[in-house]
Amino acid sequence: MVIFLCNRISFNDAFAPTLTPSPTASSASSFALGLPSMTADLGCSQFEAYLALGMFPLGFGVVPFFASPLSESWGRRPVFLLSGLLLVLTHIMAGLARNTATVVVARFLQGSSAILVNVVGGAIADMWLPIDRGLPMAVFSATAMGANGVGPIFSGWIEQSPLLGWRWIQWVHLMEPVVTSFSIWISFVWGVYYGILASLPAILRTVHGFSASSVGLAYIAIILGAALGFCTNLCLERYQSTRSIDPTPESRLAYACVSAVVFPLAMVFFAVCSIPSVHWAALEVALVLCVWSIFGVYGAVFAYLTDCYGPYASSALATQSLLRNIAGAGFPLFINKMFQAWSFRSCNLFFAGMAVLLIPIPFILVRFGPNLRAKSPFSDEIMNPRMER
The pLDDT-based confidence of 186 (bands split at 50, 70, 90) is confident
Q: Vertex 210, ends 204 and 211: CA angle to 5°?
A: 130
Q: Vertex 92, ends 23 and 142: CA angle to 5°?
A: 5
- Count other C-beta atoms under 10 Å from residue 378's C-beta: 20
Q: How far is CA 49 from CA 42, 107, 160, 192, 197, in A?
A: 10, 11, 18, 45, 50
State residue 177's pLDDT score: 54
- Residues in contact with 271: Cβ distance below 8 Å, sequence separation at least 6, in sequence order: 344, 345, 346, 347, 348, 349, 352
199 contacts 339 by C-beta, under 8 angstroms: yes
Q: How far is CA 54 from CA 62, 93, 94, 118, 370, in A?
A: 13, 17, 14, 19, 37
- Taking residues 270-291, report their average pLDDT: 86
User: Of 147, 150, 63, 77, nearest to 110 (Cα)?
Assistant: 63
Q: Vertex 319, ends 53 and 81: CA angle to 5°?
A: 70
45: left (phi over 0), alpha (psi -120 to 50) or beta: beta
CATH 1.20.1250.20 domain locations along the chain: 2-164, 180-388
Name the CATH architecture for the domain at 2-164: Up-down Bundle (1.20)
State residue 355's pLDDT score: 81
Cα-Cα-Cα-Cα dihedral sign, residues 337, 341, 345, 346:
negative
> How does 21-31 read in b/e, with b if 16+ C-beta sit within 10 Å?
bbbbbbbbbbb
Instruction: Say whether 279 sits in a helix, a strand or coil.
Output: coil
Cα-Cα-Cα-Cα dihedral sign, residues 234, 240, 241, 243:
positive
Cα–Cα dist 351/271, whole Å: 9
Whether the predicted model's global pTM rises above the 0.85 cut:
no
Q: What is the pLDDT of residues 32-55, one digit of tens each?
A: 778 888 888 888 888 888 888 778
Q: What is the pLDDT of residues 125-168, one digit of tens each?
A: 666 666 665 666 666 666 666 666 666 666 777 777 777 777 77
Give the largest CA-CA distance in the chain.
75
- Count other C-beta atoms under 10 Å from residue 74's C-beta: 11
Q: How far is CA 293 from CA 110, 200, 205, 313, in A?
A: 39, 18, 25, 23
State residue 94's pLDDT score: 80
The pLDDT-based confidence of 60 (bands split at 50, 70, 90) is confident
> How does 44-70 read in b/e, with b if 16+ C-beta sit within 10 Å?
beeebbebbbebbeebbeebbeebbee
Q: Is the confidence at residue 235, as pLDDT, over 70?
A: yes
The pLDDT-based confidence of 373 (bands split at 50, 70, 90) is low
| Helix residue ranges per DSSP H, 273-359 | 280-309, 313-342, 344-357
Residue-wise DSSP of 318-334: HHHHHHHHHHHHHHHHH
Q: What is the pLDDT of residues 300-347, one digit of tens each?
A: 777 777 777 666 566 666 666 666 666 666 666 666 677 777 777 787
% of residues, the chain, pLDDT over 90: 1
CATH of domain 180-388: 1.20.1250.20
